[in-house]
Amino acid sequence: MYGVCGCCGALRPRYKRLVDNIFPEDPEDGLVKTNMEKLTFYALSAPEKLDRIGAYLSERLIRDVGRHRYGYVCIAMEALDQLLMACHCQSINLFVESFLKMVAKLLESEKPNLQILGTNSFVKFANIEEDTPSYHRSYDFFVSRFSEMCHSGHEDLEIKTKIRMSGIKGLQGVVRKTVNDELQANIWDPQHMDKIVPSLLFNLQHVEEAESRSPSPLQAPEKEKEIPAELAERCLRELLGRAAFGNIKNAIKPVLVHLDNHSLWEPKVFAIRCFKIIMYSIQLLSHLDANSRSAATVRAGIVEVLSEAAVIAATGSVGPTVLEMFNTLLRQLRLSIDYALTGSYDGAISLGTKIIKEHEERMFQEAVIKTIGSFASTLPTYQRSEVILFIMSKVPLPSLHHPMEMGRTGENRNRLTQIMLLKSLLQVSTGFQCNNMMSALPSNFLDRLLSTALMEDAEIRLFVLEILISFIDRHGNRHKFSTISTLSDISVLKLKVDKCSRQDTIFMKKHSQQLYRHIYLSCKEEANIQQHYEALYGLLALISIELANEEVVVDLIRLVLAVQDMAQVNEENLPVYNRCALYALGAAYLNLISQLTTVPAFCQHIHEVIESRKKEAPYMLPEDVFVERPRLSQNLDGVVIEFLFRQSKISEVLGGSGYNADRLCLPYIPQLTDEDRLSKRKSIGETISLQVEVESRNSPEKEERVPAEEITYETLKKAIVDSVAVEEQERERRRQVVEKFQKAPFEEIAAHCGARASLLQSKLNQIFEITIRPPPSPSGTITAAYGQPQNHSIPVYEMKFPDLCVY
């Protein structure tokens, strides 16, 4: 039967006819492209035939190799490459098996051209990302064969170079194909590393000879591509760059063995070259720990080398695990702070102790912060998020239970640590791009970050504002708000504005009030300078652009109007500059938001107030306040209403455009929390004992006074902790009620509400019965049936009243 089908072409399967048609009569004519397109279309239309197509092509290629028909071999490999690039389906695994069988057949050939042809096809295959995993594929043969090609000793120098370069490219392809796929063979096993690494080093050690034979500089770029040593170095860098902390040992051990076996420690030029490639991946970090007590300039040099190495490191990993690397750098940062505060490496200055120069430690700290930013810039988004959370967890937060420690220069260790870690956090967050704000600013991170925003230190508060801005700014608009102004047309800023996404809306519903409260409380700080107001303006503007919907716009307007009231009422006794700055901040933001909302009446009101200020009160505008020499007014108590933005007017004009007028009419009042009280400020240990005399009211006949009660740190701490515990219980009770109504079944909620309604109705019935029922008879009660007492009612006119009631 099969013999008959072979003689009669029309009876052969269609896929065989399509495969046969791609081969021309003369192999020099090359692949028949029109027939190849038909074969590709057939393979895409019927993917279940793909494995048979591969098997038939493999059969033809093996037959052509045996008959030395190398022209047809090249055509078959070209067809295989095109099918492999075009077809990504669930049947691709069976096709790949046929493909790898044909590549292995070419690599087994003694013909250099066939080896190079097979290698090129394998490299193309290695760059393809497969849709489905393979559980049984093995690359052991390819590792062995490519390693053997790297040691080629062909008589012809040019052919030897091509074979070696093909072997290096093949090893590079094997690494790329297997290193990121956990289902593939573990390429980091010693049996594979003992072949791959020595093969790369064998070609790398001939770089000195290649450099000595290098031609003129004009010809060098062309010849450089033909040197296996350069390709081997790039491949070794890529291999080490993809190594995780647990695999780096398997990659380094073959290097040491190779140096021993080939006596390459003397001279040490090649050994130094090898370790320059691998040093930054793990050794420099441990070397930095080993030199933690060296001079600050030495440690700064090591850190700067790390920073430069991070630029060429592979994305996602540079040897050790990511958090371990950042932990090492943060540990060095803390040690440097301790050295600067104590003045010595041992924590105490004694005879013979090396005195530390504080400015050198500052230089080292800046180098560490720069290196942290360099490392973070090479990481993908998800790993950078982990690093951000990790650094934030190291920031010491104020606590009543941990008094501040004072250092030699009068600055406490906690404050310096906070500043340095926040600087590091700002470096990592710069350029951070995340479409989902819930992922960029998770609750645990945002709570810790905002708690530092309420501290007394102005520098720390400025860092927090800058960090928030770097997270929220996803379209590069930050620099457009670097100066506060009241532009008549904001189109000149060329802002990039996108519609608020659903994830951003959810984020603002959850965290908006928390953000508003901290912005409001930050405006009240007396120590604010121009940079703080610029950061507050940038934060308000970026929230309006990146995260705003109608509800957020309304709340932001209410917030800014509350800031204006803060400056007008001045309950905080703010200096004149701060009050003028708050007026100017409100004017600049309302000018921006009015043009973003494009409500004509709203824009007109804002414009009228700004023009009134320009004529008679320029000290309430940013152009006169936020300059090198501010022009301020000494009397801000009698500000006329024409200079103020009126909440009633804004709610009226925005309510007519579809905004929530009822919400706009409500003044913004921040919600004070335990965090606002406990994150402050000065240590409660500074509280002096107070003598409070309390009169005893329990026994009126005694005129004695109780002894004066002494209030100390412990009593105040106990009172605060007790009040916090009560509030915490109340908050927990509310949370349980809300959770019950959110998660409980409808029947349970209905039964609960029905029981409460029944209880209310029974109470009302009792009240009505008492109110409407006639009074009981003065004659008393009689016993009704079943022994139940019953009141006897008599008419009012028959009642006998006491003599006192008779007139």
- In order along the chain (807 residues), what is the average pLDDT of each group of 10 residues? 48 78 79 82 77 80 80 82 70 71 85 87 79 68 90 87 90 81 69 89 70 43 62 84 74 84 77 69 61 77 67 44 76 84 64 64 87 81 84 74 46 80 88 81 87 85 92 87 88 84 88 91 91 93 89 92 90 89 93 90 92 90 90 79 88 88 86 53 33 35 44 62 69 79 76 75 77 52 43 54 52
Cis peptide before 774 (omega within 30 of 0): no
What lies within 8 Å, CB to CB, of 380 at 6+ separation is 315, 316
Tokens found for residue 20? 């046969």
Strands 789-791 and 709-711: unpaired
- 84 backbone dihedrals φ, ψ, rounded to 5°: -65, -40
Helices (H), 127-182: 140-150, 157-178
What lies within 8 Å, CB to CB, of 585 at 6+ separation is 484, 523, 533, 536, 537, 560, 563, 622
pLDDT of residue 467: 92
Burial (CB count within 10 angstroms: exposed 0-12, middle 13-18, buried 19+), residue 283:
middle
The one-letter amino acid at 626:
F
Strands 781-783 and 690-692: unpaired
Q: Which helix (H) or strand (E) holds 768?
A: helix 746-772
- 696 backbone dihedrals φ, ψ, rounded to 5°: -85, 125
Closest listed residue to residue 77, CA positions, set 106, 44, 109, 47 = 106
pLDDT of residue 715: 66
Give bridge partners of residue 711 from the DSSP assignment.
690
pLDDT of residue 621: 92
Which SS3 state, helix, strand or coil, does residue 783 take?
strand
pLDDT of residue 697: 37
The angle subtended at Cα 742 by Cα 736 and Cα 748, nearest 5°, is: 90
Quick check: 506 and 497 in contact, CB under 8 A? no
pLDDT of residue 570: 84
Tokens found for residue 644? 């103020």
Give bridge partners of residue 783 from the DSSP assignment.
789
Quick check: 341 and 416 in contact, CB under 8 A? yes
Burial (CB count within 10 angstroms: exposed 0-12, middle 13-18, buried 19+), residue 343:
buried
pLDDT of residue 463: 92
Residue count of the chain, please give it: 807
What lies within 8 Å, CB to CB, of 696 at 6+ separation is 702, 704, 705, 706
- 149 backbone dihedrals φ, ψ, rounded to 5°: -65, -30
**C-alpha radius of gyration, the chain, whole number:** 40
pLDDT of residue 801: 58
What lies within 8 Å, CB to CB, of 419 at 6+ separation is 457, 459, 460, 463
